A and B are shown apart, each in its own frame.
Chain A
Amino acid sequence: MKTRIGQGIAFGLLMMTTAALAQSKPVAGEVAEGSLKDKTLTFVSYGGIYQDGQIAALKEFVDKSGVKLLSDGPTEISKLQAQVESGNVTWDVVDTGDFPPYVYCGKLFQKLDFSKIDTSNIPEGQISECSVPAMNYGVVLMYNTEKYKDNPPKSWKDFFDVEKFPGSRALEGSGDLSGGMVEQALLAAGGSVENMTVADIDKAVEKVKSLGPDTIFWKTGADSQQLAESGEADMIAMWTGRAMTAVKNGAKYTPVWQDWLVVMDQMTIPMGVKDADAAYALINAYVGKSAQETLAKTTSYTPIHKDAKPQVDEITASFMTNTPDKLKLGYHQNIKFWVENFEVANEKWNALMAGN
């Protein structure tokens, strides 16, 4: 009898602990009713349709948790640095570009506690010590179908080969180093990405220069879209979102998915935020299935939840990068190398961008 009761108690305790564990283990997209009442969170991103879509994706979280969500932006690492240095951090969750969470991990961004975010549905290789992805998109090779009718380019190697594929080229020159482009140029020059050295950057830069003086370095996404819509450049390395909009607007261009560059924005929590748990709750809600579907529907960016099935039109769907066949062709940049050599790489890239 006694042992029975003992067993019963033990069993009960076990059940309770598992229940407690299950409760403390977060589920992506879920937040406890009213848990953040009277609290305020400031979410920072890049503005425009993108941030509107993110806010729309977070609506369920806001309604349920009772949090007051403020929006700020655009994200500027220099501003964040000023906040962290002065000890007055007003940005709670910050959407950044690919590199910053790697470069400033533990300095400007907190090392994340992954017991507070459910990351089980995020595609592989996208989580870092200080960040989870905010969405996915890609850099693809877009070519003019009228120019290259019978002999279309098939890879970045063809992009960097102006002899076999004559015509003008456009690639990103917004000022920030695009590591992926440098790597593709290096591959085209016969180098290896895994064992990259600083000297290889020069090799890649030479390859970019070999495209000739008429190479276009587009400055903004709108810029690249305009190049496609007006047919100014025959091959363009461009973001999938802009490529999609250009095609929707009638540009006669087609993507090449071989070695498309996987790009993402990053969700981060700055050092010294006032309520880190609330920030975690926001990110955990953001990576949920329905939040990601809303995000994809409103922004046309690819969701970072494996099972998300957003309702989008045909062209948009054709530029979603999370299908298995595209994920297979995709390509991640050697972030470790770029972070270690960020400054010298940037300097070399800048010299190229400044016409030297």
Chain B
Amino acid sequence: MAASATGSRDTGPAAAADDRWRWFRGQAFWLVAPALLLLVVCLGLPLAIVTLRSFSEPQWGWQNYVWFFGTPVNLTVLQRTFAISAWVTLVCLIAGYPYAYVMTVVGPKMRLVLILCVLVPFWVSGVVRTLAWVILLQDSGVINSVIRSVGLGPVKLIRTQTGVVIGMAQVLLPFMILPLYSVMKAIDLRLLQAARSLGASPARAFAQVYLPLSLPGVYAGAIIVFILALGFYITPALLGGPRSTMLSTLIQNQVLSLLNWGRGGAMGVVLLIATFVLLALAAPLSRQPHKTGSRR
């Protein structure tokens, strides 16, 4: 888009370049064709089948949805799934925001180290990391023995929602930090100096200049983390107890243990629609502050 804006002038050769550009854009569609095909075959089609089966098995009708909303445990777990995901998003944001900021201000060598610190755990299998958290969080684990050594009682971490949130946040942190960093590194830090020179306190300069400019990164990171968290399966299964079971576990049970594709499908569709609704509600929120930021 930026390229087409600079290229469009009304002089002769530039107009020809413009034409060529338009032609190229037409052709460029074919470059995304493989990706589109992959999406349709590997995402669109299965999704359509799952939705269809949620209405067609065992007979045509709404029975699977009636069952879903008529079974208290499903609603509890659905609500819990959203609550845990929201907590994970919040924890990731609180941990990731300063980290991403530091990445933008340190020298290139230090930045490399910081990026590696984010990415190396990312390359380790999620199961391995989760099992490592089991060792850390359990009653006789590392964290509790440290707490005990300073004379405090054991804290229940494993098989609680706290444990699940900690484990999931660690897995998902890169998805928060990387979008934040990509937005933050484009923010001109001289704007902060300008704000300070015009008499703003550091807190005010941050709140009215830096924070609004970084919000697109916050929203991008939060949405990615939240959506990924909704589908988590292994971490809540290993770090949580019955009170932190998430919807994916119930879906797994319906499909793999009971072979009830209809109910499993209905659960998936409900989760998908609930996610869309939530994102639609959050969408205006992501535009509002940006406008007020530019107006001031």
B238 touches A230 (CB 8 A): no
Q: What is the bound-complex CA distance between A352 and B237, given in angstroms?
A: 14
Whether B140 and A356, one on each chain, are in contact in the complex, defined by CB atoms closer than 8 angstroms, is no
Within 223-269 of B, Cβ neighbours of A (below 8 Å) are at 237-238, 241-245, 249-250, 252-253, 255-259, 261
Does the CB pair B249–A175 fall under 8 Å? Answer: yes
User: Contacts of A219 on B, CB cut-off 8 Å?
Assistant: 237-238
- Residues in chain A near residue B72, CB distance under 8 A: 356
B249 — nearest CB in chain A belongs to which residue?
Answer: A175
Q: Whose C-beta in chain A lies nearest to the C-beta of B243?
A: A355
Name the residue of chain A whose CB is nearest to the CB of B260. Answer: A343
Which of A177, A216, A343 gathers the greatest number of chain B CB atoms within 10 Å?
Answer: A216
Q: Is the CB of A78 within 8 A of B242?
A: no
A245 in the interface (beta carbon within 8 A)? no
Which chain B positions have C-beta within 8 A of A223? 134, 238
A-B contact count (CB 8 A): 64
In the complex, chain A residues 170-199 whose Cβ is within 8 Å of any chain B Cβ? 173, 175-177
CB atoms of B259 and A78 under 8 A apart = yes
**A355/B258 contact (C-beta < 8 A), A232-B138, A350-B250 known:** no
In the complex, whether B8 has a CB less than 8 A from a CB of chain A is no
Q: What 0/1 pattern do residues 325 to 356 of A give for CB contact below 8 A with B?
A: 00000000000000000110011001111111
Residue of A76, A77, A78, A350 with most partner-chain B CB within 10 A: A350
* Interface of B (DSSP majority class): helix
How far is B252's CA from A81's CA once the two chains are assembled, in angstroms? 15
A102 at interface (Cβ–Cβ under 8 A)? no
Q: Are A354 and B256 in contact (CB under 8 A)?
A: no
Which residues of chain A have C-beta atoms less than 8 A from B73's C-beta?
350-351, 354, 356
- B76/A355 in contact, CB under 8 A: yes
Q: How far is the CA of A231 from the CA of B140 in the complex (A)?
A: 8
**Are B258 and A343 interface neighbours, CB within 8 A?**
yes
Cα A140 to Cα B215 in complex, Å, equals: 56
Cβ–Cβ contact B238 & A346, under 8 A: no
Among A173, A175, A346, which residue has its beta carbon within 8 angstroms of that of B252? A175
A sample of 15 cross-chain residue pairs with beta-carbon separation below 8 angstroms, ordered by A number, consists of A78-B261, A81-B259, A175-B253, A177-B257, A216-B159, A216-B241, A217-B241, A223-B134, A226-B134, A230-B140, A232-B140, A346-B253, A350-B73, A353-B245, A355-B245
Which residues of A are at the interface with B, using a C-beta cutoff of 8 A?
Answer: 76-78, 81, 173, 175-177, 214, 216-217, 219-220, 222-223, 226, 230-232, 342-343, 346-347, 350-356
